[in-house]
Structure 1
Amino acid sequence: MNQEQVNIKTPEYVSLQFQSAGLGSRSAAFIIDQLLLLITNILIVLTFIFVVDAPIAYVTGVSLPLAITIILIFVTRGGYFFILEYFFGGRTVGKRLLGIRVIQENGHSITLLSSFIRNLIRLIDSLPVAYFVGIVMIFFHSKHKRLGDLVAGTIVVHERSIKKKSKVTAIEKEIEKRNLSKNNLIINESSLKSFDMKDWKLLKTYSNRLMQLPVAERNQMTRKVAGILFPKLGIDYSKFNSHQLENSLLILYLTLKDEWEFEL
């Protein structure tokens, strides 16, 4: 089926528009992921055959190394989608290459519980053979959801690329002038997930207005925005001077921009 536009209203009353990922792109991403898993499983089996040369131990008549190999294959296949989708912004390797990702129905990043549920239900979606239930669901559902998405409250959408700009904006020039980059502020994944669209819009507005304000008003706004956003990072900003606060907020702007600044 063709891509469908999905309108999402976030808990912060921000309207977002996405293109739901259809059967073609999802199948292509799944095939890539399966090939990676196949290669990984082959490597695990080869390790068992060629590397494990110690005397084979048996437990109730079962080869212990063979049992460990089977468990490793099972854990790898079961954990691959669950771990990557949660820790890498709803993207497995296949999804990243195809430009799609899993998000919550409210527009937020996928949660740990949702990732677990949608990938647990994958067992049902794969029945009876060749992912038949999942394919039928994705093809006929208006938002291209499989059963796991329905239960977990998730949706797979196309990434929205940043609109190319003909000239560099004032804030981009200022960031470059200050020689700032995302590497200047290390943010762990859990802290990053605490930010939402409302935070991004606040930070974007602040960054775009920053250089237009008088110094006194600029410092005041910087303190206010830092007071709202920095507690989510666990940063004690009380000892920072105004210039350090500005730099830190601009670095945070660069980091959140990758997650939130996109256009259809």
Structure 2
Amino acid sequence: MREEQIDIKTPEYVSLQFRTAGLGSRAAAFLIDQILLTIINILVIVVLAWVLNISSQNPYMEAQRIYSGTIAIVVVGMFVLNWGYFLVYEFFSGGRTLGKKLIGIRVIQENGQSITLLSSFIRNIMRIVDMLPVYYFVGMLMVFFHGKHKRLGDITAGTIVVHERRKKKANKKSAIEKEVASRGYDKDSLDIEESTLRALGAKEWKLLRTYSQRFTHVEQNQRLVLTRQVAEIILPKIGMEVERQTEQELENTLLVLYLKLKDEWEFEL
């Protein structure tokens, strides 16, 4: 199955290039997810059988009421698990389920932004149609014949499945990495959840990259002004205060933040 390169224009008019995920990689990721769900379902059934067996041996329990109540709860729980797995995992893990992570693909919106809760809900509720008549036959046909390898859920939700962007290989540390290391920091020094980092898009990345590239080439007075200006634009977007931090602290925060975002935005096709 061929995989095509596509160009996506973000709302900030930044052009990003991706390789769409074809039927093979998507099927492999789905198979991994289904194996995981099958294992969990089997474990739940085994535990349920054990609980019901224990209950049946207790003469002080009303067996019929326990059976019906427990089974109803488990059935509802398994339904929520099997249908909510993709929705929750994709949204909180940047468009990646466990299967997608292992295969190296992810779901994004057509504008290049991370998947939203609404778009994840729409694309996953449409699995009801994509799985018709059996074994996702409709979905597989759509992925195979669609120009961007989309199933109905992707078309309805405005999403697309692409290959992860590979990080650029570097044989030696960059000037910024050396600067950050000399200050006693690294990219893990800033503890920010991935869901928080999604507030920073291509526009913020370009600003932060420009700041970092110019950092070691400008005079100190200009650097202090530049640091304050960039910090006032970027840091509030991730819930960080600017006023209470010194220029030195702001520099450290911005440089470490640059290293964290670099893994996400600098890539090779």
Deviations 1:105-138 (A, max 9, x none): 0000001100000000011100110110000000
* Residue 159 (structure 2) aligned to one of 136, 154, 160: 154
| Map of 2:136 onto structure 1 | 131
Shift of residue 186 of structure 1?
A: 2.7
TM-aligned CA distance change 1:81 to 1:114, over 3 Å:
same
SS of the residue 2:166 aligns to: coil
Q: Is the 2:96–2:106 Cα contact (8 Å) retained in structure 1?
A: yes
TM-aligned CA distance change 1:34 to 1:73, over 3 Å:
same
| Map of 2:100 onto structure 1 | 95
Q: d(CA) in 1 for partners of 2:113 and 2:217?
A: 31
Relative to the length of structure 2, the TM-score reads 0.93
Deviations 1:57-79 (A, max 9, x none): 546x9711111111111111011
Range 254-263 or range 197-206, more displaced: 254-263
Alignment of 1:205 onto 2:200:
no
How many residues of Structure 1 are paired with residues of Structure 2 in the alignment?
A: 263
| Map of 1:14 onto structure 2 | 14
The aligned runs of 1:1-264 (5 Å cut-off) are 1-52=1-52, 53-54=54-55, 55=61, 58=64, 63-264=68-269
Deviations 1:137-187 (A, max 9, x none): 000000000000000000000011012123321011112222223443232
Gaps of at least 5 residues in structure 2 are: 56-60
Q: d(CA) in 2 for partners of 1:161 and 1:188?
A: 21
SS of the residue 1:201 aligns to: helix
Q: Percent identity?
A: 57
TM-aligned CA distance change 1:184 to 1:166, over 3 Å:
closer
**What amino acid sits opposite 1:31 in the alignment?**
L
Relative to the length of structure 1, the TM-score reads 0.95
Range 246-255 or range 33-42, more displaced: 246-255
Deviations 1:192-232 (A, max 9, x none): 22110110111111112111111111111100000000111
Gaps of at least 5 residues in structure 1 are: none
